[in-house]
Amino acid sequence: MKIFILGFMGAGKSRLGSRIAGFMDIKFIDLDDEIEKNQGITIAQIFLEKGEKGFRKIEKRVLHQCNKSDQIVIACGGGTPCYEDNMEVMNKSGTTILLDVPQEVLFSRLFNSKQKRPLIDNKSEEELREYIVDKLAEREKHYNKAKIKIDPLNTSLELIKQILTG
Ligand code: S3P
């Protein structure tokens, strides 16, 4: 079994992904953590040194490396499904689950943790609200290709388990 957790920044991909891996008793990988390990610098430093274009190239490469493993849950970055053929690769290799979280919730989570995220770290409250609306609209067509869509705030772990194991 291979599961890819997708969703916007702040959707809770890593938290839920590691819980799913826990109850399925399989390995968990956070793609951003893998990228940082692979490069030996933080995501913020990668954006600073290589720009977003450079980051996306690395992200794709590391996704392919992680994809070689089986029995794994991979929590992706918010942009992972939206570049190159990443979404097709993930859909071909395993189960893709989108965490669909309301914009207001994303906003309050991200406003309190934006320092860690180079795409939003210098945005004002108003700019962040606008960014979330615009980016979600832009990314929707990619996110909608996920095989499963859940609202993690209103879906119990038990139900997620049932959905995944059939
Ligand atoms: C990004 C999301 C981040 C990280 C990078 C770019 C995005 O991951 O990959 O900052 O494009 O949405 P999280 O969704 O885990 O914050």
Looking at ligand 1, which residue's alpha carbon is closest to its atom 3? 77
Query: How many whole angstroms from 131 Cα to the centroid of ligand 1?
Result: 13
CA–centroid distance, residue 48 to ligand 1 (Å):
14
What is the rounded distance in angstroms from the CA atom of residue 160 to the CA atom of residue 62? 27
Show me where the domains of the chain are located: 2-101+141-165
98 contacts 6 by C-beta, under 8 angstroms: yes
Write the CATH number of the domain with boundaries 2-101+141-165.
3.40.50.300
CA distance 7 to 139: 10
Check: CB of residue 69 under 8 Å from CB of residue 31. no
**Residue 133 confidence (pLDDT):** 98
Tens digits of residue pLDDT in 7-59: 999 999 999 999 999 999 999 999 999 999 999 999 999 999 999 999 999 99
At residue 96 the predicted structure's pLDDT band, cuts being 50, 70 and 90, is very high
